[in-house]
Amino acid sequence: MKMQMVGLSEEQRLIWQTCREFLDEVVLPYIRQNRDREWLAPPQERTPVELLHAVDQLGLRTLGVPEKYGGIRFDAQAQTFAIIAEELARGDSGFADIVCQNWKVSVLLSACAPQHLQAEWFDRFMEDPTFLMAHALTEPRGASDRWLPYNVPEAGMHTRATYKDGYWILNGRKQFISNGYGAKLYVVYANTNPNAGIMDGTSSFLVPQGTPGFFIGSIHEKMGSRLMNNAELVFEDCRIPEDHLLVKDVALRQAGVYFRPGKILQAAKALGVGVAAFEDTVTYVQQHVQGGRPLIKHQIVAAALADMAIKLETVRAFTRYAARALDEGAEDTDQLCLMAKVYSSEAVFDICRRAMELHGGMGVMREVGIERHFRDAAIFLHMDGTNDIHRFKIIKAMFAETAGTYAGPELVTVS
């Protein structure tokens, strides 16, 4: 199911064509030849290093890096990112996660890191195709709910950073961190003012791999997107040089540069998984005979395929629309990015469920492969914020003055 070219610039058409050929000729053959890697390889060996080298040679690994450090600047960055992310996820959702995470962190660093740190770390990133970056916000006792937003101290980070003798000392834990195992550079959020609300007491820091007091905890074994390692991070008196502070106290107020394109990328990656499930299903129903005729000639199957195709095109149109709003700085960008993520993840989950059903009993068998798309689709319902929390945020963005507000700390009566 090829992407529609309507509304794309000539540059975007060429990028899409390049990406599609790369997926068909490099990524998909690799995934087929290594189909058991996601289950049999230990996390330490699961990252598809060969694909990282290949995507680096194509120039797609380093998107988001400023031009002066060797990156590429697009006039319509969010829209172009969405085109590429869709194709990468059509090959493998976990691989797309790895690459897209690097893009998002690069954009964040270009917006808030001091120039000497940008020069140091972007140079290292450009030189090493296996260089991964991670964004560490989620904690064991606080995740999507921190973005409702409730700007109060009791909603603050449990990870704390205190300043002493020219260093910031970090203590705490993070979990569900994409690229958490294997990254060489982390953006870490911590509470630096316990008396302020979360939006005014949270700072961000640049933490390199191997910093004393920084450890990798458990590696989370997800049901889908398994080629991307997701891990717990532990900080025990971790000493960070003073100049590695990125944003003091108001880091979450400035994090929109990371989260807005993140929603577009989530929508686009989900779309790529849906396209893969649809294409695999179309192949199956045209080759498999049931009731004396190919499955596609049964009306109920044809109708199901039509519904799947309609949803995919709707997801693509909505994702492009939200991406354009982001590129143009529209007033309703926040709610549109959130809406695109919610709609795409739920529509694609339904598409992948239907794809499994059209495979009959074979749909749940690993050897067929359609179940992988279903597992990957399930991840998007919870990734980069849960959909229920996103719905709350959508209404907050639309009706800021009257939408639900924080109810205050829980009152506990001790007898």
Superfamily assignment of 134-253 in CATH? Answer: Butyryl-CoA Dehydrogenase, subunit A, domain 2 (2.40.110.10)
pLDDT at 161: 97
Please say whether the beta carbons of 362 and 368 come within 8 A.
Answer: yes
Provide the CATH number for the domain formed by 10-130 in this structure.
Answer: 1.10.540.10
- The CATH architecture one would assign to domain 256-398 is Up-down Bundle (1.20)
Taking Cα atoms as reference points, which of 33, 35, 30 lies closest to residue 50?
30
Please say whether the beta carbons of 106 and 257 come within 8 A.
Answer: no
Instruction: Give the residue-averaged pLDDT of 1-7.
Output: 66
What's the predicted TM-score (pTM) here? Answer: 0.93
Residue 189 binned pLDDT confidence (cut-offs 50, 70, 90): very high
3-class SS shares of the chain: helix, strand, coil, % to 5? 55, 15, 30
Indicate if the pLDDT at residue 415 is higher than 60.
Answer: no
Query: What's the rounded Cα separation, in Å, for the pair 308 and 93?
Result: 19
The ranges assigned to domains in the chain are 10-130, 134-253, 256-398
Helix axis angle, 93-112 to 49-57, nearest 10°: 60
Indicate if the pLDDT at residue 258 is higher than 60.
Answer: yes
Strand partners, 136: 188
Please say whether the beta carbons of 54 and 21 come within 8 A.
Answer: no
Residue 145 binned pLDDT confidence (cut-offs 50, 70, 90): low
Q: What secondary structure letter does DSSP report for 1?
A: -
Among 117-131, 144-158, 255-269, name the one with the lowest average pLDDT. 144-158
3-state class (DSSP) for residue 224: coil
Instruction: State percent of the chain over pLDDT 70.
Output: 93
Taking Cα atoms as reference points, which of 305, 306, 297 lies closest to residue 280?
305
Residue 366 binned pLDDT confidence (cut-offs 50, 70, 90): confident
Indicate if the pLDDT at residue 414 is higher than 60.
Answer: no
- The overall average pLDDT reported for the chain is 91
Element housing 415 (H / E): none
Residue 73 binned pLDDT confidence (cut-offs 50, 70, 90): confident
Amino acid at site 20 = R
Residue 193 binned pLDDT confidence (cut-offs 50, 70, 90): very high
* Cβ burial, residue 206 (10 Å; 0-12/13-18/19+): buried
Helix axis angle, 77-91 to 256-287, nearest 10°: 40
The structure tokens listed for 127 are 């030189």
Query: What's the rounded Cα separation, in Å, for the pair 354 and 300?
Result: 12
What 361-367 contacts at long range (C-beta under 8 Å, 24+ apart), as own/partner pairs, is none
Instruction: Give the residue-averaged pLDDT of 368-390.
Output: 92
Instruction: Give the residue-averaged pLDDT of 73-82.
Output: 90
